[in-house]
């Protein structure tokens, strides 16, 4: 059942689906919870799924000032504390993945398990670093969908897109060594033709302690929609099963008994 929660100056919209262990889905930039339409039903068969929409996205109105990853992480922490009220699994896509990682780094007690889908940690990993942030073109692509639900109206889309563009010009800006602060069990998931390079994917996988890695073949940055059955199966396997004892582990080899 959809509802609003006033979290500081952000009147956050969210919906809930299913029962069980709480799972919070964090959508990407300039989209909203509807982006997860191919995934929610499958995940809600096993988990209690929350779908908050961040400031200036979807049904959640914008607030004055910039949009930054730190502010969105603050908003997500408030949502976890005030609405979920217990440690939760976080699954984030794109901008939502970086927000989820910041939350896990800052407030590890709030995060049980972490699935980071198609979200890098530093701009150096961009696969198309020279791509132009064309607000008019982005409006043609995403503006009408935004206008369907935004309380700010379709004309405000360009304001939000400009804010996101200003953020994207400078962030994310973490170093690989910073990712050692992620202590939650983590699945790193990317497509094989994503917005970051495969070298960056591997660097991220190597930098997060004990991380697991999934590369979804034949997909792009929209992998959750392009191959939802495979993505859903990977997420559910990770969130509902304990790690298996591997036969010939190298990276995760069991420590020797002394």
pLDDT digits (tens, 9 = 90+) for 57-92: 999 999 999 999 999 999 999 999 999 999 999 999
DSSP lists the bridge partners of residue 190 as: 215
pLDDT of residue 256: 58
SS3 91: strand
pLDDT of residue 252: 83
The number of beta carbons lying within 10 Å of the beta carbon of residue 170 is 10
CB 42 within 8 A of CB 236: yes
Question: Taking phi first (over 0 means left), then psi (-120 to 50 degrees means alpha), and beta for anything else, what does residue 60 get?
Answer: beta
DSSP summary character for residue 29: T
What span, in angstroms and rounded, lies between the C-alpha atoms of 213 and 181?
18
SS3 94: coil
Mean pLDDT computed over 41-47: 98
pTM, 2 dp? 0.97
pLDDT of residue 66: 97
What span, in angstroms and rounded, lies between the C-alpha atoms of 120 and 200?
7
Task: Band the pLDDT of 195: cuts 50, 70, 90.
Answer: very high
Residue range 113-123, pLDDT digits in tens: 999 999 999 99
pLDDT of residue 48: 98
Give the architecture (CATH level 2) of 3-240: 3-Layer(aba) Sandwich (3.40)
Q: Is the pLDDT of residue 254 over 70?
A: no
pLDDT of residue 258: 40
Among 135, 176, 177, which residue's Cα sits nearest to residue 156?
Answer: 135
Six token digits for residue 218:
């034949």
The number of beta carbons lying within 10 Å of the beta carbon of residue 54 is 26
């Amino acid at each position: 059942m959809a509802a609003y929660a006033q979290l500081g100056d952000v009147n956050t919209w969210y919906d809930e689906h299913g029962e069980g262990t709480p799972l919070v889905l964090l959508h990407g930039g300039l989209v909203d919870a509807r982006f997860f339409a191919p995934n929610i039903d499958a995940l809600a068969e096993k988990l209690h799924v929350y779908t908050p929409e961040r400031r200036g996205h979807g049904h959640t109105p914008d607030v004055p000032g910039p949009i930054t990853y730190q502010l969105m992480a603050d908003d997500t922490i408030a949502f976890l504390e005030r609405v979920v009220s217990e440690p939760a699994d976080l699954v984030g896509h794109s901008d939502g993945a970086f927000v989820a990682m910041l939350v896990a780094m800052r407030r590890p007690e709030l995060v049980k398990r972490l699935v980071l889908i198609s979200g890098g940690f530093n701009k150096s990993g961009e696969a198309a670093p020279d791509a132009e942030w064309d607000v008019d073109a982005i409006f043609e692509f995403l503006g009408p969908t935004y206008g369907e639900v935004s309380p700010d109206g379709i004309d405000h889309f360009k304001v939000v897109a400009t804010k996101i563009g200003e953020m994207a010009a400078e962030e994310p800006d973490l170093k690989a060594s910073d990712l050692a602060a992620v202590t939650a069990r983590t699945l790193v998931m990317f497509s094989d033709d994503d917005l970051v390079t495969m070298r960056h994917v591997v660097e991220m996988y190597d930098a997060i302690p004990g991380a697991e890695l999934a590369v979804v073949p034949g997909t792009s940055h929209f992998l959750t929609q392009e191959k939802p059955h495979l993505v859903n199966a990977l997420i559910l396997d990770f969130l509902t099963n304990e790690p298996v004892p591997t036969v010939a582990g190298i990276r995760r080899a069991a420590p020797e008994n002394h």
